[in-house]
Amino acid sequence: MSAKLNKPNHDDSPSRQMASAPTEIDLSRLTLHSVYDRGHLAQRDAFAKPCEAGVSFADWLASLPAFLGANRLKAAADAIIAARQADKPVAFAMGGHVVKVGCGPVVIDLMRRGIVTAIACHGATAIHDVEIAMIGATSEDVGDTIRDGRFGMVKETASFFAEAAQCATEEDAGYGRSIGELVREQKLPNASLSILATAAELGLPATVHVALGADTVHMPAMADGAQIGQASLNDFRILCDVIYQMGADAADGICGVWCNIGSAVLLPEVFLKAVSVARNLGAHLDMLTTVNLDMLRQYRTMQNVVTRPVTKGQGLDIAGHHEIMLPLLRQAIIEQYRQS
Protein backbone atom coordinates (compact mmCIF):
# COMPACT_ATOMS: atom_id res chain seq x y z
CA MET A 1 0.00 0.00 0.00
CA SER A 2 1.48 3.34 -1.00
CA ALA A 3 1.85 6.05 1.61
CA LYS A 4 -0.66 8.88 1.51
CA LEU A 5 0.68 12.38 1.02
CA ASN A 6 -0.44 14.98 3.51
CA LYS A 7 -2.15 17.94 1.90
CA PRO A 8 -0.69 21.32 2.75
CA ASN A 9 -2.67 23.23 5.32
CA HIS A 10 -4.08 26.28 3.58
CA ASP A 11 -5.85 28.04 6.44
CA ASP A 12 -7.63 31.02 4.94
CA SER A 13 -10.02 31.52 7.86
CA PRO A 14 -10.40 35.01 9.40
CA SER A 15 -8.92 33.69 12.65
CA ARG A 16 -5.48 33.08 11.03
CA GLN A 17 -2.72 35.19 12.67
CA MET A 18 -1.17 37.71 10.26
CA ALA A 19 2.59 38.58 10.51
CA SER A 20 3.23 41.97 12.04
CA ALA A 21 4.58 44.74 9.81
CA PRO A 22 8.37 45.45 10.13
CA THR A 23 9.27 48.37 12.33
CA GLU A 24 12.22 50.77 12.24
CA ILE A 25 14.63 50.78 15.17
CA ASP A 26 14.70 53.98 17.23
CA LEU A 27 18.09 55.51 16.40
CA SER A 28 17.47 58.46 18.71
CA ARG A 29 18.50 56.15 21.56
CA LEU A 30 22.09 55.77 20.21
CA THR A 31 24.91 56.94 22.51
CA LEU A 32 27.27 59.25 20.64
CA HIS A 33 30.83 60.17 21.64
CA SER A 34 33.17 62.99 20.72
CA VAL A 35 35.57 62.43 17.82
CA TYR A 36 38.25 64.00 20.07
CA ASP A 37 37.91 61.13 22.55
CA ARG A 38 38.21 58.38 19.95
CA GLY A 39 41.39 56.45 19.12
CA HIS A 40 42.61 56.82 15.52
CA LEU A 41 44.62 54.57 13.23
CA ALA A 42 45.51 57.30 10.72
CA GLN A 43 47.35 60.37 12.01
CA ARG A 44 48.51 63.33 9.94
CA ASP A 45 52.08 62.93 11.22
CA ALA A 46 52.27 59.65 9.30
CA PHE A 47 51.12 61.13 5.98
CA ALA A 48 53.34 61.30 2.90
CA LYS A 49 55.74 64.20 2.61
CA PRO A 50 56.14 64.87 -1.12
CA CYS A 51 59.73 65.49 -2.17
CA GLU A 52 61.23 67.84 -4.68
CA ALA A 53 62.92 66.46 -7.78
CA GLY A 54 66.48 65.25 -7.30
CA VAL A 55 66.31 64.23 -3.64
CA SER A 56 68.31 61.25 -2.37
CA PHE A 57 66.72 57.83 -2.15
CA ALA A 58 67.03 57.95 1.65
CA ASP A 59 65.01 61.18 1.71
CA TRP A 60 62.46 59.71 -0.68
CA LEU A 61 62.10 56.58 1.46
CA ALA A 62 61.61 58.71 4.55
CA SER A 63 58.88 60.65 2.72
CA LEU A 64 56.63 57.62 2.24
CA PRO A 65 53.40 57.51 4.26
CA ALA A 66 53.99 55.46 7.41
CA PHE A 67 51.26 52.91 6.74
CA LEU A 68 50.85 49.26 5.70
CA GLY A 69 53.11 48.32 2.79
CA ALA A 70 55.59 51.17 3.30
CA ASN A 71 56.01 50.21 6.94
CA ARG A 72 56.43 46.54 6.03
CA LEU A 73 59.06 47.39 3.42
CA LYS A 74 61.06 49.34 5.99
CA ALA A 75 60.57 46.60 8.59
CA ALA A 76 61.89 44.00 6.14
CA ALA A 77 65.00 46.10 5.48
CA ASP A 78 65.52 46.63 9.22
CA ALA A 79 65.20 42.89 9.96
CA ILE A 80 67.66 41.95 7.21
CA ILE A 81 70.21 44.48 8.44
CA ALA A 82 69.81 43.33 12.05
CA ALA A 83 70.26 39.70 11.01
CA ARG A 84 73.46 40.40 9.12
CA GLN A 85 74.87 42.54 11.93
CA ALA A 86 74.26 39.54 14.21
CA ASP A 87 75.88 37.23 11.62
CA LYS A 88 72.63 35.38 11.00
CA PRO A 89 71.64 34.03 7.57
CA VAL A 90 69.43 35.93 5.16
CA ALA A 91 67.91 33.59 2.57
CA PHE A 92 66.17 34.53 -0.66
CA ALA A 93 63.81 31.81 -1.91
CA MET A 94 62.76 32.67 -5.46
CA GLY A 95 60.32 31.56 -8.11
CA GLY A 96 61.20 31.72 -11.78
CA HIS A 97 59.47 35.04 -12.41
CA VAL A 98 62.16 36.85 -10.40
CA VAL A 99 64.75 35.91 -13.02
CA LYS A 100 62.42 36.35 -15.99
CA VAL A 101 61.70 40.00 -15.14
CA GLY A 102 65.39 40.85 -14.86
CA CYS A 103 65.93 40.94 -11.09
CA GLY A 104 68.91 38.58 -11.10
CA PRO A 105 71.43 41.46 -10.95
CA VAL A 106 69.60 42.88 -7.90
CA VAL A 107 69.93 39.57 -6.06
CA ILE A 108 73.54 39.09 -7.16
CA ASP A 109 74.46 42.55 -5.88
CA LEU A 110 73.03 41.74 -2.45
CA MET A 111 74.96 38.45 -2.45
CA ARG A 112 78.22 40.19 -3.28
CA ARG A 113 77.61 42.76 -0.54
CA GLY A 114 77.29 39.96 2.01
CA ILE A 115 73.63 40.71 2.69
CA VAL A 116 71.96 37.70 1.06
CA THR A 117 73.83 34.65 2.34
CA ALA A 118 71.73 31.76 0.98
CA ILE A 119 69.66 31.06 -2.12
CA ALA A 120 66.77 28.63 -2.56
CA CYS A 121 64.83 28.11 -5.76
CA HIS A 122 62.80 25.55 -7.64
CA GLY A 123 63.51 23.97 -11.00
CA ALA A 124 61.99 26.72 -13.14
CA THR A 125 64.12 29.38 -11.47
CA ALA A 126 67.25 27.36 -12.14
CA ILE A 127 66.29 26.81 -15.78
CA HIS A 128 65.80 30.52 -16.43
CA ASP A 129 69.02 31.30 -14.55
CA VAL A 130 71.03 28.87 -16.70
CA GLU A 131 69.48 29.98 -19.99
CA ILE A 132 70.31 33.60 -19.21
CA ALA A 133 73.91 32.52 -18.57
CA MET A 134 73.90 30.39 -21.72
CA ILE A 135 72.33 32.65 -24.36
CA GLY A 136 71.31 35.87 -22.55
CA ALA A 137 67.59 35.13 -23.02
CA THR A 138 64.92 32.84 -21.59
CA SER A 139 61.17 32.14 -21.40
CA GLU A 140 59.24 30.97 -24.44
CA ASP A 141 55.67 31.74 -25.52
CA VAL A 142 53.96 28.69 -24.03
CA GLY A 143 50.62 29.48 -25.65
CA ASP A 144 52.28 29.24 -29.04
CA THR A 145 54.72 26.34 -28.60
CA ILE A 146 52.32 24.07 -26.70
CA ARG A 147 50.11 23.82 -29.78
CA ASP A 148 52.51 21.63 -31.76
CA GLY A 149 54.54 20.02 -28.97
CA ARG A 150 57.60 22.27 -29.27
CA PHE A 151 57.17 23.60 -25.73
CA GLY A 152 60.23 22.86 -23.63
CA MET A 153 61.86 20.68 -26.27
CA VAL A 154 65.29 22.31 -26.36
CA LYS A 155 68.33 20.05 -26.24
CA GLU A 156 70.94 22.41 -24.80
CA THR A 157 69.07 23.19 -21.57
CA ALA A 158 68.05 19.57 -21.03
CA SER A 159 71.61 18.34 -21.63
CA PHE A 160 73.02 20.89 -19.20
CA PHE A 161 70.67 19.87 -16.38
CA ALA A 162 71.21 16.16 -17.00
CA GLU A 163 74.96 16.71 -16.70
CA ALA A 164 74.51 18.79 -13.53
CA ALA A 165 72.42 16.04 -11.93
CA GLN A 166 75.04 13.45 -12.83
CA CYS A 167 77.81 15.61 -11.35
CA ALA A 168 75.81 16.05 -8.15
CA THR A 169 75.39 12.28 -7.86
CA GLU A 170 79.06 11.52 -8.49
CA GLU A 171 80.20 14.15 -5.99
CA ASP A 172 77.38 13.59 -3.46
CA ALA A 173 76.64 17.30 -3.75
CA GLY A 174 73.54 19.45 -3.97
CA TYR A 175 71.82 20.26 -7.25
CA GLY A 176 72.22 24.03 -6.85
CA ARG A 177 75.97 23.88 -6.27
CA SER A 178 76.45 21.49 -9.21
CA ILE A 179 74.46 23.75 -11.54
CA GLY A 180 76.38 26.84 -10.46
CA GLU A 181 79.76 25.13 -10.77
CA LEU A 182 78.87 23.80 -14.23
CA VAL A 183 77.95 27.31 -15.42
CA ARG A 184 81.40 28.44 -14.32
CA GLU A 185 83.26 25.42 -15.71
CA GLN A 186 81.63 25.80 -19.13
CA LYS A 187 82.43 29.52 -19.07
CA LEU A 188 78.96 30.39 -20.29
CA PRO A 189 79.03 33.85 -21.89
CA ASN A 190 76.68 35.48 -19.37
CA ALA A 191 77.80 33.63 -16.25
CA SER A 192 78.09 36.92 -14.38
CA LEU A 193 74.28 37.17 -14.55
CA SER A 194 73.73 33.71 -13.03
CA ILE A 195 72.57 33.68 -9.41
CA LEU A 196 73.59 30.05 -8.99
CA ALA A 197 77.04 30.61 -10.51
CA THR A 198 77.56 33.60 -8.21
CA ALA A 199 76.61 31.47 -5.21
CA ALA A 200 79.14 28.83 -6.28
CA GLU A 201 81.81 31.50 -6.72
CA LEU A 202 81.13 33.00 -3.29
CA GLY A 203 80.73 29.64 -1.55
CA LEU A 204 77.14 30.38 -0.51
CA PRO A 205 74.53 27.65 -0.10
CA ALA A 206 72.26 27.55 -3.14
CA THR A 207 69.55 24.91 -3.21
CA VAL A 208 67.22 23.74 -5.98
CA HIS A 209 64.00 22.00 -4.92
CA VAL A 210 62.51 20.01 -7.77
CA ALA A 211 59.04 18.62 -8.36
CA LEU A 212 59.66 15.78 -10.81
CA GLY A 213 57.66 16.27 -13.99
CA ALA A 214 57.12 19.97 -13.34
CA ASP A 215 60.11 21.23 -15.34
CA THR A 216 60.75 21.13 -19.09
CA VAL A 217 64.15 19.46 -18.57
CA HIS A 218 62.37 16.38 -17.18
CA MET A 219 60.73 15.57 -20.53
CA PRO A 220 63.67 14.31 -22.65
CA ALA A 221 64.93 10.75 -22.15
CA MET A 222 68.29 12.02 -20.84
CA ALA A 223 66.66 13.11 -17.56
CA ASP A 224 67.52 10.69 -14.76
CA GLY A 225 64.89 10.81 -12.01
CA ALA A 226 67.09 9.04 -9.46
CA GLN A 227 69.94 11.51 -9.95
CA ILE A 228 67.65 14.55 -9.94
CA GLY A 229 65.81 13.33 -6.86
CA GLN A 230 68.97 12.59 -4.89
CA ALA A 231 70.52 15.93 -5.82
CA SER A 232 67.39 17.80 -4.76
CA LEU A 233 67.12 15.80 -1.52
CA ASN A 234 70.74 16.73 -0.75
CA ASP A 235 69.71 20.34 -1.22
CA PHE A 236 66.77 19.97 1.17
CA ARG A 237 69.17 18.82 3.87
CA ILE A 238 71.48 21.73 3.14
CA LEU A 239 68.53 24.10 3.42
CA CYS A 240 67.55 22.59 6.77
CA ASP A 241 70.98 23.58 8.07
CA VAL A 242 70.52 27.13 6.75
CA ILE A 243 67.24 27.42 8.69
CA TYR A 244 68.86 25.86 11.76
CA GLN A 245 71.63 28.47 11.65
CA MET A 246 68.99 31.21 11.59
CA GLY A 247 68.09 30.23 15.15
CA ALA A 248 71.44 29.01 16.42
CA ASP A 249 72.96 30.94 19.34
CA ALA A 250 69.92 33.21 19.42
CA ALA A 251 70.50 34.34 22.99
CA ASP A 252 70.50 37.94 21.73
CA GLY A 253 66.96 37.41 20.44
CA ILE A 254 67.94 38.00 16.82
CA CYS A 255 67.20 35.36 14.17
CA GLY A 256 67.86 35.15 10.48
CA VAL A 257 65.42 36.25 7.77
CA TRP A 258 63.63 34.13 5.16
CA CYS A 259 62.34 35.98 2.09
CA ASN A 260 59.93 34.12 -0.17
CA ILE A 261 59.87 35.92 -3.50
CA GLY A 262 57.43 34.71 -6.11
CA SER A 263 56.92 31.05 -5.20
CA ALA A 264 53.28 30.31 -4.47
CA VAL A 265 53.43 26.64 -3.44
CA LEU A 266 56.66 24.67 -3.72
CA LEU A 267 59.14 26.76 -1.75
CA PRO A 268 56.65 27.67 1.01
CA GLU A 269 56.04 23.93 1.49
CA VAL A 270 59.77 23.16 1.55
CA PHE A 271 60.37 26.00 4.01
CA LEU A 272 57.72 24.75 6.42
CA LYS A 273 59.32 21.30 6.58
CA ALA A 274 62.79 22.78 7.03
CA VAL A 275 61.51 24.88 9.95
CA SER A 276 60.12 21.76 11.58
CA VAL A 277 63.46 19.95 11.17
CA ALA A 278 65.39 22.91 12.59
CA ARG A 279 63.12 23.27 15.61
CA ASN A 280 63.16 19.53 16.24
CA LEU A 281 66.96 19.75 16.42
CA GLY A 282 66.81 22.62 18.91
CA ALA A 283 67.01 25.79 16.85
CA HIS A 284 65.50 28.84 18.59
CA LEU A 285 63.36 30.40 15.88
CA ASP A 286 60.87 32.31 18.03
CA MET A 287 62.17 35.65 16.74
CA LEU A 288 62.33 34.57 13.12
CA THR A 289 61.37 37.17 10.51
CA THR A 290 59.74 36.01 7.29
CA VAL A 291 59.02 38.21 4.29
CA ASN A 292 56.72 37.35 1.40
CA LEU A 293 57.04 39.42 -1.76
CA ASP A 294 54.68 38.59 -4.59
CA MET A 295 52.22 40.18 -6.97
CA LEU A 296 49.28 38.28 -5.43
CA ARG A 297 48.50 37.00 -1.96
CA GLN A 298 48.36 33.20 -2.00
CA TYR A 299 47.08 30.74 0.61
CA ARG A 300 50.32 28.79 1.10
CA THR A 301 52.55 31.83 1.26
CA MET A 302 50.32 33.42 3.90
CA GLN A 303 50.07 30.22 5.95
CA ASN A 304 53.50 28.64 5.45
CA VAL A 305 55.62 31.80 5.34
CA VAL A 306 53.88 34.74 6.99
CA THR A 307 51.92 33.11 9.83
CA ARG A 308 52.56 29.47 10.83
CA PRO A 309 56.36 29.54 11.29
CA VAL A 310 56.36 32.86 13.13
CA THR A 311 55.53 33.02 16.84
CA LYS A 312 57.12 35.93 18.68
CA GLY A 313 58.81 37.00 15.48
CA GLN A 314 57.17 38.75 12.57
CA GLY A 315 55.76 37.82 9.20
CA LEU A 316 55.73 40.61 6.63
CA ASP A 317 53.62 40.47 3.47
CA ILE A 318 54.53 42.97 0.75
CA ALA A 319 52.43 42.81 -2.41
CA GLY A 320 53.79 44.22 -5.63
CA HIS A 321 55.62 43.47 -8.85
CA HIS A 322 59.11 41.98 -8.39
CA GLU A 323 60.64 44.38 -10.89
CA ILE A 324 59.56 47.26 -8.63
CA MET A 325 59.64 45.84 -5.10
CA LEU A 326 62.98 44.03 -5.22
CA PRO A 327 64.99 47.07 -6.37
CA LEU A 328 63.18 49.16 -3.73
CA LEU A 329 64.00 46.64 -0.99
CA ARG A 330 67.62 46.44 -2.10
CA GLN A 331 68.05 50.19 -2.08
CA ALA A 332 66.38 50.51 1.32
CA ILE A 333 68.76 47.88 2.69
CA ILE A 334 71.98 49.30 1.33
CA GLU A 335 71.10 52.88 2.32
CA GLN A 336 70.48 51.87 5.93
CA TYR A 337 73.26 49.26 5.99
CA ARG A 338 75.75 51.90 4.94
CA GLN A 339 74.68 54.24 7.73
CA SER A 340 74.48 51.61 10.51
Element (H, E) at 215: none
- The fold adopted by the segment(s) 68-339 is Deoxyhypusine Synthase (3.40.910)
What CA–CA distance (Å, rounded) separates 95 from 299?
Answer: 16
pTM: 0.89
The pLDDT of residue 297 is 87
What CA–CA distance (Å, rounded) separates 302 from 313?
Answer: 15
Per-residue pLDDT of 278-309, as tens digits, reads 999 999 999 999 999 998 888 888 999 999 98
Residue ranges per domain, the chain?
68-339
The pLDDT of residue 253 is 79
**Cα dist. 189→12, 16, 132, 278 in Å?**
91, 91, 9, 39
Residues of the chain with pLDDT under 70: 1-18, 250-252, 338-340
